[in-house]
Amino acid sequence: MNGMHLSRFPLSAKVFCSLFLIGIGCGSLAAFAQAATSVGISASAVQASLAPDLPMAGMRHGEASAEREMDLGELSSAAKVWMRTPLLIQTSHTHLFGQTLISGLLGLIFLFVPLREALKAAIVALPFVGTLVDIGGMWATRFVSPSLSFLVITGGTLFALGYVLIAALSMHDLWLRKETT
Amino acid sequence: MIRRLVFLLCAMAAAPALAHVTPPVLLVSDRDAVTNLLAGSKRYFVREVRLTSAERQAVQKETGWAPDEDFYRFYLGRDDQQHDVGAVTFLTEYTIHGPVRVAVALSPDGKVKGAAVVEVSEETYPWVKRLIDQGFLASFAGRDAHAPRPQRGGSSMPGFYGDIIAGLVQRAALLYEAGILKRAHS
């Protein structure tokens, strides 16, 4: 960007950028583990956590009550998060702010990597698009169709892909690129 | 340039840290909560009730809480002779620190049999754990929907969450009374 490349940054800035990228990477791994253990990382697991709570007893619209015998196996034996709408709102607001800011910080570092503009624009957009697809997918799963739960996985994958590309290319530029005069 | 960049990064990084709601801590599965709270049951049933507007108003008048779900679900346990052992329902309150989800068991007469905290946020957990360790949840046993809530006192965070949990237990008892008990008698 304007001739300012990561490889020309002073040592302190290189250390700062590197540790930020490593920190976000560790945070992403922890977030992945958290998502895997509390919700699951398959489309069906996301669907189970986000799809609207439908009547179990076969209660039809307008009926005052319904009852049926059940097997305890119908209840989850695992401690799994089921996201009610207020939690979805809470999750959306924190993750939209948090992930967008992380995407912005990653992008800010990545802007100093010398690459073709079209390629750079595509890579820098990945975490932002991933975040929007991820959170948008949660709402779509709840309110449009449970079958759209794959969007949550797609969004997370795009965010991760964006992070990996940005971190790898930035680290390469920070520490491995030889400056030519 | 670099100093401006560092300042910008720090300022941007502070915002999500302040806004973040910590991850959920799941203390017990739904199945275990139902099994433990309805000990002695041989068969299980699920009953869902849709409150009438009069029933909703009655609950709101008692607690100030407006039950706005389309329906409420109770898991019923019965013994070998088909006698009711009790019913369990799950209710959640969304606090500034994240959700607090509680399972409440009710006797066939509408009195509280027991309660268990099912889910809290990581931040809330130490405050709620203190309540659990002190036996706060056991203090609800035998109370009906109209009994005064057990007082935790003080303005501490455990006290605040004690009030939240007590409110959820009372709501569960009122929902059972409105959606099952009173309907059975009418």
Q: Mark yes or no for CB contact A66/B9 under 8 Å.
A: no
Q: Mark yes or no for CB contact A67/B45 under 8 Å.
A: yes
Q: For position B123, what pLDDT does the model report?
A: 86
Taking the alpha carbons of B69, B94, A39, B169 in that order, is the dihedral positive or negative?
negative
Supply B162's token pair.
Answer: 């004690």
**Residue numbers in B near A70 (CB within 8 A):** 44-46, 75
Q: Mark yes or no for CB contact B48/A75 under 8 Å.
A: no
Check pLDDT > 80 for residue A47: yes
Instruction: Tell me the pLDDT band of A104, cut-offs 50, 70 and 90.
Output: very high
Whether A61 is in a domain gets the answer no
Strand segments, DSSP code E, in B122-157 are none
Instruction: Tell me the pLDDT band of B155, cut-offs 50, 70 and 90.
Output: low
ipTM score? 0.75
Asked whether A170 and A7 are in contact (CB, 8 A), the reply is no
Q: Which residues on adjacent β-strands are paired with residue B100?
A: B93
**Residue numbers in A near B54 (CB within 8 A):** none
Whether A133 is in a domain gets the answer yes
Q: For position A39, what pLDDT does the model report?
A: 76
Q: For position B18, what pLDDT does the model report?
A: 41
Check pLDDT > 80 for residue A171: yes
Question: Where do the structural domains in chain B lie, given as residue ranges?
Answer: 22-185
Domains in chain A, number: 1
Least CB–CB distance from A72: residue in B9, B34, B98: B34
pLDDT tens digits, B56-101: 998 998 888 899 888 999 999 999 999 999 999 999 998 888 889 9
Check pLDDT > 70 for residue B6: no
Asked whether B51 and B179 are in contact (CB, 8 A), the reply is yes
Average pLDDT over residues A31-44: 83
Q: Domain limits at A102?
A: 7-51+81-176
